[in-house]
Amino acid sequence: MSSAAEIDALEPAAAAQPARDLADWARVLLNGVTLVVLWNHVWFSDLSDRSLLDAAEDGSLLTQLLFIGLGLAMAAALRRLGLERLRPLASWPLLAVATWLAITIFTSVEPLLSIRRAILLVIAAMLSAGILVVARSARQFALTLAGAALVILIPSFLAVALVPHLAVHSPFDVQADPSHTGLWRGVFPFKNEAGAVMVIFIIIGLYVAASASRLYGWALILLAATFLVGTNSKTALATLPVIFVVTTLCRVFRGTVLRAILLLGPVIGFAVISVGSVFIPAVKDLLDSVLSDASFTGRSEIWEFAMENILARPLQGWGYGAFWLTERTMYATGETQTWVNTARHGHNAYIDVALMLGVPGLGVILLAYLIAPLRDLQRITDGHGIDPATMLFLRLWFFALISASFESVLLNGNNATCCMFMMAVFGLRLRASHRMIAA
């Protein structure tokens, strides 16, 4: 069993006494199932199914049932342990995000659709925060993460070997890209989703090795790295070395300004490389001389289309979840109808936030998800080293922010990177609050 200090690191509101306890088996089962569902809950998708081309305004019944069921179970567990443990999350930046999201739901072009999709996001946020409270200790938390990761990894490898038509991209995929043929996706719907989760597993493996078991941790790293190579996910492969170089340097440079430069520099750099390749001529010319496709798989047309629609509703946006994969977008008529109308998302989280919540909403998101966690990191470390739990949260947070320049991962409750990003933001907030309480 871990020490009291380790337990406090994961249960920040140590001053609050829980009403009742939960058995270890119940904690591990709830957190394990929750993690597996947050990482991927639609296994072995048949990508030759032409219904994938239809608008998805009705949502997935399986997704709704899973999230509602897990949400009720997590709510019961949190109530039993004491809801006051989540009180530090009521910070003004996070409350500002919730407030603006609520406002834009009611100004949405499809209010009912926005409400339904926002409920999924709220449940995913509660689950991501609840995992931190339900875990009894750092060791239990680490081993639960490792066990849940194996539940994903082992079937993924077996599927590639035994049922490749359900685990490997093929020319028969209805949204096939010829360059994707033969790339692994395992139990995931797409190889990019698989690649992102493999990076998450590598980050988790390092945490497990540092806080629970070197054997389990490095075994997880080896398996995830092997599968990541099989996916050939460009975003994941490009961001992985950046994550480890920058976060390792954060152990060396402990000052607020230096850490801010280290962490924000790559985030801004990736944003310039992506969007700048379309909208800034000087950047485009420079990148064209170095890279054959600076947008990472030709997303330029999608970004141009999204920007046109951001300018159409710059203040309130179109509404949360009320743009991509809706009938208004997919079946538009006239000169605006192109292949980009059928895109699942904008392939850039910052553009998607501005598209859904307006430019003011993007500002609020950056404040709560970028600036506030940086402040929390400095409060936690206070000029000292970074412990394993804080490093886990830092790496997950940083991975999401640089991935956001190429994938929509900041406000998508049905996305593994988004859920781990929220867990990281909440983890840093809870740990920073605990520091202040303990002082």
* Domain boundaries defined on the chain: 4-438
Dist CA 194 CA 40 (whole Å): 9
Residue 166 has pLDDT above 50, yes or no: yes
Coil vs helix vs strand at 308: helix
CA 247 to chain centre: 18
**Residues 264-297 pLDDT 10s:** 999 998 888 888 777 777 777 776 666 655 545 5
pTM of the shown model: 0.89
Mean pLDDT of 27-55: 80
Residue 13 has pLDDT above 80, yes or no: no
Number of other residues whose CB lies within 10 A of the CB of residue 142: 28
Which pLDDT belongs to residue 336?
52
Which pLDDT belongs to residue 388?
94
- Residue scoring higher pLDDT (335 or 438): 335
Phi, psi (deg, nearest 5) at residue 352 = -65, -40
Q: Are 91 and 425 in contact (CB under 8 A)?
A: no
Give helix 234-252 / helix 214-231 axis angle, nearest 10°: 140
Distances (CA, A) of 329 to 56, 293, 332, 422: 11, 26, 5, 28
**Residues 309-359 pLDDT 10s:** 999 999 999 999 888 877 777 766 445 556 676 677 788 999 999 999 999
What does the mean pLDDT of the chain come to?
Answer: 85
Nearest CA-CA partner of 274 in 357, 348, 220: 348
Which pLDDT belongs to residue 32?
97
Dist CA 394 CA 139 (whole Å): 18
Which pLDDT belongs to residue 17?
45
